[in-house]
């Protein structure tokens, strides 16, 4: 594991400033007093680990990341648990995904111990920034950028900067549960086989804004990405995976989520929901669903709920689906009971109000 030098901020926020920031943090606007940085160079590996005051970087305009987009990131949360302690949720899974992203982008991997230590250092130092209350958290954003200077495109960068920043966060879609309206993106696609869809690489998100803007113009909250070949198989949403729930009255609920084909992000929330579904006695499987099937199964009443899930969004019901051919409603168009049951279970484990049978909670 790499050693980190601790350089506390000489000017941390005062308790009053912090309290004001924690009162209404929103998402990704307010940052804590510190960040962690770590550098990699060919020949030396990872070095110069620091916990230091949060602040800007100075980078040459010819730095590789600005030109060829060699950047990856992660998203995870620290939760204030019942009793006041702080916990991360499955951070080993984020470390593993970070390294899968790194391999795809020809970037260096970080050993799990160093990755977790960097998170723990920041969360321990800035623990006062972890807000209380279910739905509130400290969102952690580990990232890595290519820092070699020069425009050559013959090989990947020979130096990298890893950094972790943190921001207090409230519920991504607002405090009161509501059902989202989503836009089926037929014009733009997010990822193609053999591409970078399974990696958490910045370029996947940069390429998504144009579809997000189109969706917003159509009165929708989010984009639903379809497969790039046929534009009919549902893959995922902008920053969330998707689940479809079949729970007609009296039947044992069945969940289906699109299989990991390489073009969608293997969400840690997705994986957790698949496991929790079994715990709650629901059937759950990975499969595929076309947009036509989605519409028909809503009309017949077989498909009763759909939801999106991810770290930032937690779990959000989908109420209405809109596309170039019109729109349809899922169930009553409101947050559904199966979604609610799974959400309560997940939040209960994350906030320490329910048992953690899978050892997902990582106390800091
Ligand atoms: N899909 C995309 C494109 C994402 O950016 C995210 C968020 O990280 C997810 C799915 C959900 O992943 P997770 O549950 O690990 O946050
Ligand atoms: C997350 O849920 O952590 C994400 O990274 C989604 C994001 C694009 C806000």
pLDDT per residue over 41-51, tens digit each? 999 999 999 99
Of 158, 181, 197, nearest in space to 319 by CA: 181
Of 266, 248, 249, 241, nearest in space to 316 by CA: 241
pLDDT tens profile 184-239: 999 999 999 999 999 999 999 999 999 999 999 999 999 999 999 999 999 999 89
In angstroms, how far apart are the furthest CA atoms of the chain?
Answer: 64
SS (H, E, C) the chain: CCCEEECCCCCCCCHHHHHHHHHCCCCCCCCCCEEEEEEEECCCEEEEEEEEECCCCCCCCCEHHHHHCCEEECCEEEEECCCCCEEEECHHHHHHHHHHHHHHCCCCCCCHHHHHHHHHHHHHHCHHHCCCCCCCEEEEEEEEEECCECCCCCCCCCEEEEEEEEEEECCCCCCCCCCEEEEEECCCCCCCCCCCCCCCEHHHHHCCHHHHHHHHHCCCCEEEEECCCCCCEEEEECCCEEEEEECCCCCCCEEEEECCCCCCCCCHHHHHHHHHHHHCCCEEEEECCEHHHHHHHHHHCCCCEEEEEECCCEEEEEEEEEECCEEEECCCCCCCHHHHHHHHHHHHHHCCCCCCCCCCEEEC
Tell which one of 91, 101, 197, 241 to mutate to probe ligand 1, the residue whose CB is within 8 A of the most ligand atoms.
241
pLDDT tens profile 134-192: 999 999 999 999 999 999 988 999 999 999 999 999 877 776 778 999 999 999 999 99
Residue 355 CA to ligand 2 center (angstroms) comes to 26
Residue 142 CA to ligand 2 center (angstroms) comes to 11
Of 107, 127, 115, 123, nearest in space to 38 by CA: 115
Number of other residues whose CB lies within 10 A of the CB of residue 224: 27
Looking from the CA of residue 311, the nearest atom of ligand 2 is 2
Query: How far is 107 from 39, CA to CA, in rounded Å?
Result: 12
pTM of the model: 0.97
| Residue whose CA is at the smallest distance from ligand 1 atom 7 | 239
Q: In the structure, what pLDDT confidence band is assigned to residue 26 with cuts at 50, 70 and 90? A: confident
Looking from the CA of residue 313, the nearest atom of ligand 2 is 2
Q: What is the pLDDT of residue 171?
A: 76
Residue tagged 């959000």 (tokens): 316
The pLDDT of residue 343 is above 70 = yes
Choice among 123-132, 154-163, 168-177, 315-324 with the minimum mean pLDDT: 168-177
Distance of CA 166 to the CA centre of its chain: 14
Relative to the alpha carbon of 191, which ligand is closest?
Answer: 1
Q: What is the pLDDT of residue 187?
A: 94
Q: What is the pLDDT of residue 301?
A: 95
Q: CA 196, 198, 203, 204: dihedral to nearest 10 degrees? A: 110
Query: How far is 32 from 42, CA to CA, in rounded Å?
Result: 31
């Amino acid at each position: 594991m790499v050693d980190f030098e601790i350089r506390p901020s000489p000017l941390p926020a005062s308790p009053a400033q912090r309290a004001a920031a924690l009162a209404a943090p929103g998402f990704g606007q307010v940052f804590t007093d510190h960040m962690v940085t770590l550098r990699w160079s060919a020949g030396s590996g990872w070095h110069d680990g620091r916990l230091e005051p949060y602040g800007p970087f100075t980078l040459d305009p010819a730095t590789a990341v600005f030109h060829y987009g060699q950047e990856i990131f992660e998203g995870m949360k620290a939760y204030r648990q019942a009793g006041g302690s702080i916990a991360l949720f499955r951070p080993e899974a984020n470390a593993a995904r970070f390294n899968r992203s790194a391999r795809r982008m020809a970037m260096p991997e970080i050993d799990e111990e160093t990755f977790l230590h960097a998170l723990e250092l920041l969360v321990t130092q800035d623990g006062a920034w972890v807000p209380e209350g279910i739905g509130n958290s400290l969102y952690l954003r580990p990232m890595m950028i290519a820092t070699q200077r020069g425009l050559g495109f013959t090989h990947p960068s020979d130096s990298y900067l890893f950094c972790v920043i943190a921001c207090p966060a409230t519920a991504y879609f607002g405090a009161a549960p509501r059902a989202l309206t989503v836009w089926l993106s037929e014009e733009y696609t997010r990822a193609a086989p053999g591409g970078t869809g399974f990696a958490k690489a910045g370029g996947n998100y940069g390429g998504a804004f144009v579809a997000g803007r189109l969706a917003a113009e159509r009165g929708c909250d989010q984009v639903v990405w379809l497969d790039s070949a046929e534009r009919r198989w549902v893959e995922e949403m902008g920053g969330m995976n998707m689940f479809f729930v079949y729970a007609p009255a009296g039947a044992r609920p069945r969940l289906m989520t699109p299989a990991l084909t390489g073009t969608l992000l293997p969400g840690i929330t997705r994986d957790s929901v698949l496991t929790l579904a079994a715990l709650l006695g629901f059937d759950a499987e990975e499969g595929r669903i076309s947009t036509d099937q989605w519409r028909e199964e809503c009309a017949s009443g077989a498909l009763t709920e759909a939801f999106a899930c991810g770290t930032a969004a937690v779990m959000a019901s989908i109420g209405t689906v809109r596309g170039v051919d019109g729109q349809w409603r899922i169930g009553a168009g409101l947050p559904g009971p199966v979604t609610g049951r799974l959400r309560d279970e997940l939040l209960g484990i994350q906030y320490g109000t329910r048992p953690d049978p899978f050892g997902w909670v990582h106390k800091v």
